[in-house]
Amino acid sequence: MTTGQFLISGWTWSGAFLAVGAVAAALYITMFGVRRRLGYFAAAIAVSVVALISPINALADGYLFSAHMLQHILLLLIVPALLLLSLPRSVSLAVRPRALGHPLVGWIAGVGAMWFWHVPALCDAAVSSRPVHALQTISLLVLGSVFWRQILAPREKERLSPPGAVLYLFSACITCGVLGIIITLSPVTVCSIYTMQPVDRFGLLQTIRLGWGMTPERDQQIGGLLMWVPMCLIYLSAIIAQIARWFAEPVVPATQTT
């Protein structure tokens, strides 16, 4: 199969995804109505489609570690952030035992999701077993939401202060970046399943290895680099947004005070 053919036929439509997506959309519209924030929700659905339906999903399914990494980043960092942004500002996300709302919990959820699913055995299992894969997808969305809640909770009160948020994002980025560095520079394979001959469902292997020049080593390198560089840019964008939020407070003309 050539690249062009694959881009057309590589879409993996799944009933479960469509059902969940439809129910979520229906729920969203009945609960919050059609308003400006619907755009964020639509974007979240669109990114989920890219991650879980588009050819990226097919590639992540046994062919390419780097595609898996892209999927991972989209599901952990982009989709949950967009979902939180889509909520109206009045929604409270306070959690019952107050300790669960601690920033450390959010931080560990975000960073832990990165590290946990790249333990070699788990990384392989998520590719080879359907239930584990489903568990991984759900856990990424949930943990990502827990992570972003500290930054993007609809209510200002439930968010970290901007400088705190900068430290939160910065340390999370460094800790995930270190994993990216390990994966990039490591002489051993992280997910060995991608180095084996996959079940070539699309007849694409020739194209990938020869046409695209994707050896397993280069594939892992790209995966690590995606985590090291572009992923950190997501955190950086969030940091810049936080600084903007901090400095955006309107200035009070001097005459009005004192």
Partner 1 sequence: MNEVTTILDRAGLLTPLQREHWAMAWISTVDHKRIGILYMLTALFFFVIGGIEAMLIRLQLAVPHNALLAPDTYNMVFTMHGTTMIFLVAMPALFGLANYLVPLQIGARDMAFPRLNAFSFWLVPFGGLLLHFSFLAGGAPAVGWFAYAPLSETPYSSQVGVDYWALALLVLGIGSVGTSINLIATVLTQRAKSMTLRRLPLFSWMIFVNSFLVILALPVLNAALVMLLIDRLLGAHFFLPLGGGSAIMWQHIFWAFGHPEVYIVAIPAFGILSEVIPVFARKPIFGYEFVAGSTVAIAFLSLLVWAHHMFTVGLGHTVDLFFVASSMLIAIPTGVKVLAWSATLVGGRIRLDTPMLFCVAALVQFLLAGLTGISLAAAALDWQTKNSYYLVAHFHFVFVGLIVFAILGALHYWFPKMSGRMLSERLGKWTFWLMTIGFNLTFITQHFLGLAGMPRRIYTYADLPGWGWMNLVSTVGAFVMAAASLLFVWNLAASLLRGKPAGDNPWNAWTLEWAATSPPPVDNFRRLPPIRNRRPLWDDANPDRPDPMVGSKGKADTFAPEKNKTAIILFIISEAAFFAVLILGYLFFNATPQPGPSSHDLNLLKTGIFSLCLFASSFTIWRSERSLSQGRHRAMQSWLAATILLGVVFIGGQGLEYWTLFKGGVSVGSNLFSTTFFTLTGFHGLHVCVGLIALLIVLGLTLAGDFKRSPSPALKAVGLYWHFVDLVWVVVFSTIYLLPHFR
Amino acid at 14: S
The conformation of residue 187, written as its DSSP 8-state character, comes to: S
Q: What's the residue count for the chain?
A: 258
Question: Site for partner 1 (CB under 8 A): which residue of 56, 64, 125, 232?
Answer: 232
Between CA 2 and CA 61 the distance in angstroms is 18
* Of 48 and 150, CB closest to partner 1: 150
Print the binding letters for residues 119-158 with partner 1: x by CB under 8 A, - otherwise.
Answer: --x-------------------------------------
Q: Does 173 bind partner 1 (CB under 8 A)?
A: yes
Question: Locate tokens 């990165």: which residue?
Answer: 114
Is 210 an interacting residue with respect to partner 1 (CB under 8 A)?
no
The distance between the two most distant Cα atoms of the chain, rounded to a whole number of Å, is 75
Residues 21, 101, 164, 216: which binds partner 1 (CB under 8 A)? Answer: 164
**178 in contact with partner 1 (CB under 8 A):** yes
**244: contact with partner 1 by CB under 8 A:** yes
116 vs 246, which CB is nearer to partner 1? 246
Q: Which is nearer to partner 1, 13 or 247 (CB)?
A: 247
From 58, 166, 172, 208, residue interacting with partner 1 (rule: CB under 8 A):
166
User: Binder to partner 1 among 19, 186, 196, 199 (CB under 8 A)?
Assistant: 186
Q: How far is the C-alpha of 96 from the C-alpha of 219, rounded, in Å?
A: 43
Q: Of 148, 162, 172, 202, which lies in the binding site for partner 1, with binding defined by CB under 8 A?
A: 162
Q: Which is nearer to partner 1, 14 or 128 (CB)?
A: 128
Q: Are 190 and 123 in contact (CB under 8 A)?
A: yes
| Alpha-carbon distance values, 155 to 63, 158, 189, 211 (Å) | 42, 6, 43, 50
Sign of the Cα torsion 117, 119, 122, 126 reads positive
Q: Judged by CB under 8 A, which of 42, 47, 95, 225 binds partner 1?
A: 225
The reply to whether 204 sits near partner 1 by the rule CB under 8 A is no
174: contact with partner 1 by CB under 8 A:
yes
Q: Does 4 bind partner 1 (CB under 8 A)?
A: no
Compute CA distances 47 → 72, 90, 108, 196, 234, whole Å.
12, 25, 24, 29, 15
* Distant-in-sequence, close-in-space partners of 75: CB < 8 Å, separation ≥ 6: 48, 51, 52, 137, 140, 141, 144
Specify the DSSP class assigned to residue 90.
T
Give the total of residues touching partner 1 (CB under 8 A). 40
Binding site for partner 1 (CB under 8 A): 121, 161-164, 166, 170, 173-174, 177-178, 181-182, 184-188, 218, 221-222, 225, 228-230, 232-233, 236, 239-240, 243-244, 246-247, 249, 251-254, 257
